[in-house]
Amino acid sequence: MDMRQRIGALAGEMLQKAFPEAQGLPEDLAALLEVPPEKSMGDYAFPCFKLSKALRMGPPMIAKKLAESADKPEIARVECVGGYLNFFFNRENFARELLNAIMAAPEKWGASQDGNGKTAVVEYSSINIAKRFHLGHLSTTVIGNSLKRIYDFQGWKTVSINYLGDWGTQFGKMIAAYKRWGDKAQVEAGGVDEMTKLYVRFNDEARENPALEDEGRAWFKKIEDGDEEALSIFRWFKDVTLRDAMKVYDVLGVRFDSYDGESVMAKKTDRVVRELEEKGLLKDSDGARIVDLEPYDMPPYLILKSDGATLYATRDIAAAIYRKETYHFDRSLYIVAYQQDLHFKQLFKVLELMGYDWADQCQHVAFGMVSYEGQAMATRTGHVVLLDELLTRAQERALAIINEKSPGLENKEEVARQVGVGAVVYATLQNNRIKDIDFWWDRALNFDGETGPYVQYTFARCCSVLRKAPEIAAAPDYAALTDDEAQALLRLLSRFPEAVAEACLRNEPSIVTRATTEIAKAYNKYYYEHRILDDDPAATAARLQLTDACRQTIKTGLYLIGLDAPERM
Ligand code: ARG
């Protein structure tokens, strides 16, 4: 039911009929179709200017000849205006065919098989051990979760990876601090905050007592060498951090297939260094080993420090190769803030220089900064907004609104979670990911604006209309759906599959957010201007089917951006 394709095919038939001898005409007529700026100019306009040369005829004359050969009024009628041929859908048939196509497999509307047989690795969230989960990790987590769902829906096999930041000399320092001043029960209870305190104290005291640094280094060495005690403390730090993160993931409905982080890749860097060496890519630079990227206008990529230690970059090369060899991906996505733009450009270039022809399957999916009610999330005054606090507050606020608007609702707490979290996630995925986000409560939780709660509320409204509907035996009369509001809604529903495909192609969940929001807005407009349940059962049946198609498509759209869809609000 792709109307663009159908009108394109129709234009092709007309062209064939009007100019059977013509040569050298464009192949893909559907791609030439334009959406006219005004409804009075039709649903699609076909510009005849591009045919002028091949047909040796002025565009208005071409349009006129094409119009004369039109003979499919059941699809669309045509009008020529200047050099354009305007197509007007046959409204009744459009409604019938589209709704039948959607209702044939409602939960699959917008799905495709584009990705069949292909694998996408999606890396997101990638939190750091012994650090708090702050607002900066919100975007990567929700963009990645949404992209995973979108890729799945487009037929890809996906592998989601939380690439833990769990390697570095700081962990040696943390163990040293724990051994000196730490308390097991306190760390268990205080979690990451307690670990941070230990780390801060270590750095403070090391300024007075530099011998501490050696102690830290020694413990890190023990981690590297696989010392029992060091490893068990290190693993425990990890468990405590992940335990807290899991709470956030549970609230968001986020899951990962793998938690293989930097510590796993640190074991695989020997091979990387050897390979770089063999391929003649390593150079000395003040004792350190680098890949020179000057010919590509980039700073050098640092592979080994002068003490022989590997770096973030080295581990990322190992991780890329590991992912290719383990998952045989066709696309490998890194959902990471744009600050790491250069790092990924360098990484992909080095993979290419190493001769990996799959380097161009790796993509950095960058996103902008998040601030909170006008304040950067970590200012010099130490104002840090933590994700778990934000989500808790969102649920409390949503609960307060529900208590005010629908005090009798069952399951209030659960709905408050869905709505509060939905507001936060929606706000994150509302605009192009590269744009900076400023999060404001009043904006995110406004039930009337373009927000998560507004779209969820529209879904609940569709559910409520369908709950109240009587059993109808009559077949739907699609002539009841030829008004402008129904048609606007149908057009949006018909374009939903294109939106999902484009979101997948451009790794841009906001395209789905927008398409879903537009459907919700159009449904509400329809709902206010038309009676859905009226005396004519066949007309009622058609309007209920339209409502059902909206309900399903909105639910799919919400799911794809990571929101739940409560049936009552
Ligand atoms: N853990 C890092 C951070 O929080 C992000 C890791 C990004 N992924 C990667 N493959 N380098 O900043």
Question: Rounded CA gap, 507 and 206, in Å?
Answer: 45
Q: Residue 471 contacts by C-beta under 8 Å, 6 or more apart in sequence? A: none
Residue 448: what pLDDT? Answer: 84
Q: Whose CA is nearest to atom 11 of ligand 1?
A: 316
Where in the sequence numbering do the catalytic residues fall? Answer: 131, 134, 137
Report the SS3 class of residue 494: helix
pLDDT of residue 380: 45
Distance 266 CA to ligand 1 centre (A): 14
Gap between the Cα atoms of 169 and 263, Å rounded: 12
Distance in angstroms (rounded) separating the CA atoms of residues 84 and 79: 8
Q: Which helix (H) or strand (E) holds 165?
A: none
The per-residue pLDDT for 379 is 45
Greatest alpha-carbon span in the chain: 92
Residue ranges for the chain with pLDDT beneath 50? 379-381
* Structure tokens, 388: 């778990």
Ligand 1 contacts CB of residue 316 (under 6 A): yes
Measured in Å, residue 433 CA sits from the centre of ligand 1 at 17
Reported pTM: 0.94
Contacts with 555 (C-beta within 8 Å, 6 or more apart), sequence order: 107, 459, 565
Is residue 423 within 8 Å of residue 453, measured between CB atoms?
A: yes
Q: pLDDT tens-digit profile of 180-239?
A: 999 999 999 999 989 999 999 999 999 999 999 999 999 999 999 999 999 999 999 999
> Cα–Cα distance between 516 and 469 in angstroms, integer?
24
What is the structure's pLDDT at 518? 98
**CA dist., res. 462 & res. 523, Å (int):** 9
Can you give the pLDDT at residue 384? 64
Measured from the CB, is residue 165 less than 6 Å from ligand 1?
A: yes
Query: What is the C-alpha to C-alpha distance for residues 519 and 554, in angstroms, rounded to an integer?
Result: 7
**Strands 119-123 and 157-161, sheet pairing:** parallel
Distance 345 CA to ligand 1 centre (A): 14
The predicted structure's pLDDT at residue 489: 97
Using a 6 Å cutoff on CB, does residue 167 contact ligand 1?
no
Residues in CB range of 70: below 8 A, 6 or more apart: 14, 77, 78
All domains in the chain, ordered by first residue: 3-89 (3.30.1360.70), 168-259 (no CATH), 387-560 (1.10.730.10)
Residues pairing with 301 in the sheet: 291
Tens-digit pLDDT profile for residues 412-421: 999 999 999 9
Is residue 334 in contact with ligand 1, taking CB distance under 6 Å? yes
Structure tokens at 389: 């606090």
pLDDT at 378: 54
Q: Checking phi first, is residue 308 left (phi over 0); if not, alpha (psi -120 to 50) or beta?
A: left
| Contact status, residue 196 vs residue 132, Cβ threshold 8 Å | yes
Helix axes 537-560, 136-153, angle to 10 degrees: 130
Q: Whose CA is nearest to atom 5 of ligand 1?
A: 126
What count of residues does the chain have?
Answer: 569
Query: Per-residue pLDDT tens for 309-367?
Result: 889 999 999 999 999 999 999 999 999 999 999 999 999 999 999 999 999 999 999 99
Q: What is the DSSP letter of 378?
A: B
How remote is the CA of residue 126 from the centroid of ligand 1, in Å?
A: 6
Residue of 192, 336, 348 to mutate, ligand 1, most atoms within 8 A of C-beta: 336
pLDDT in tens, 74-111: 999 999 999 999 999 999 999 999 999 999 999 999 99
